[in-house]
Amino acid sequence: MLRLKIPRDWLLVLFLVIIVCLFLNLALPCFLSGFWGTYVVQPVIWGLLVFFILRLPRYKGAGKLRLRSLLIKLAAGIAIFQIYLTLIAGFFEKFGRSPNSFTPKGIVINLVFVATSLAGIELSRAWLINRRARKPSTLLPVFIALLFTYFSLPPGQIPKISSSLEVVTEFLGSTFLPTFMENLLASFLALWGGALPALTYRGIIQAFNWFCPVLPDLNWLMKAFTGIIVPVVGLVIIQEISLAKSHLARYRRQTGKGLTGWLITSIGMVIMFWFFLGVFPVHPTVIFTGSMRPAIEVGDVVIVARVNPKLLKVGDVVQFRLKEKTIPTVHRIIDTRREGNKLLYITKGDANNYPDTEPVHPEQVTGKQVFIIPKAGWASIAVKQLLSKG
């Protein structure tokens, strides 16, 4: 029987990190909130953790020593490019003033707060990974990344089980996945180069977020794009370079391909998930009724593209969502009329004898038909009928 031997000191440090994070996130705010709890007690606790980690024996990571300087440069470049991409996105969205204080006293207080927490997290991350990972490993950095991601999220931001799909999707895209990818990249930097490359990457990101007086105010889609794409690309680059410069040829073949494939598959699944949720400007809709026959049959999939409602005209097939209906409707515009300054659309299914009872408002239009995939939605209809019977 195969037994997994886990060193006691590793379990002790893991337990200590979990206790510290739970205390700071859950217990401390209950009895000491505000300035003293946040900017005095937290830095002291993180400082004690740093002191404890530095007293422990040092362990060499999976990469060679000369790889560390290269990883530090790459980590800095990835962080700067991520900030650059965020700034570019801000020009397409908008900017807002930072909520942090920029008085000399406020800068010093925030600097101590950020530096101690960052040092505590990254030194403990690197020690936990390097104590166990003498050779390239995927499982341990992913586990450590998930652990620190969970403790990085304020409890109030995590959706409840009863939350709607839209709320969960927004949380995953704007908060969880960017935080996880940042921690995952930091974990692999710690695996190959120790704490310094991870500190460099996250330190530059945190410095921008905390000490830039004007920050991009992005919607959750832009946050998801900038917070996921750059770390993913950076992670693939780091892994490929680190494996290429290591002497572990067998692990270069196995671990490198495994991680790259895992990342590509994960990002592909996220993109497909967002596509079917209608996150992108183009999304699919399954037709469940025959109101648009013969142009659109039951089971067809209509590809719908977002469009400025002002550009719609009579004859266009549009998708719109009424408040009292959970499933969007796909019908044709047969006429328009005005109510005051607002243009309304009169719609009708091609197979229906009469127009729809209510006119469609521009804000109810979710897109215009651009393409039809015949019979591609029958699997979705079958699953829905099966679930409704159950």
Catalytic residues: 291, 331, 356
SS3 content of the chain, % helix, strand, coil (to 5): 60, 10, 25
Contact 360, 302 (CB under 8 A): no
Phi, psi (degrees; rounded to nearest 5) at 370: -120, -20
**Sequence-ordered strand ranges (E) for the chain:** 95-97, 214-216, 282-286, 301-305, 317-320, 329-339, 342-348, 365-373
Question: Measured over all CA atoms, what is the biggest interatomic distance in the chain, rounded to whole angstroms?
Answer: 81
Phi, psi (degrees; rounded to nearest 5) at 76: -65, -40
User: CA dist 314 to 82, 321, 347, 368, Å?
Assistant: 44, 18, 9, 12
Which of 279, 273, 367, 377 has the alpha carbon at shortest distance from 328?
367
Where do we find the tokens 């460099």? 200
Q: Name the token pair of 304.
A: 């719908």
> Could you give the CA distance from residue 180 to residue 201 in angstroms, rounded to a whole number?
14
> Could you give the CA distance from residue 224 to residue 174 in angstroms, rounded to a whole number?
5
> Could you give the CA distance from residue 16 to residue 178 in angstroms, rounded to a whole number?
26
What is the DSSP track for 132-143?
H-SS--SHHHHH
What single DSSP character describes residue 361? Answer: P
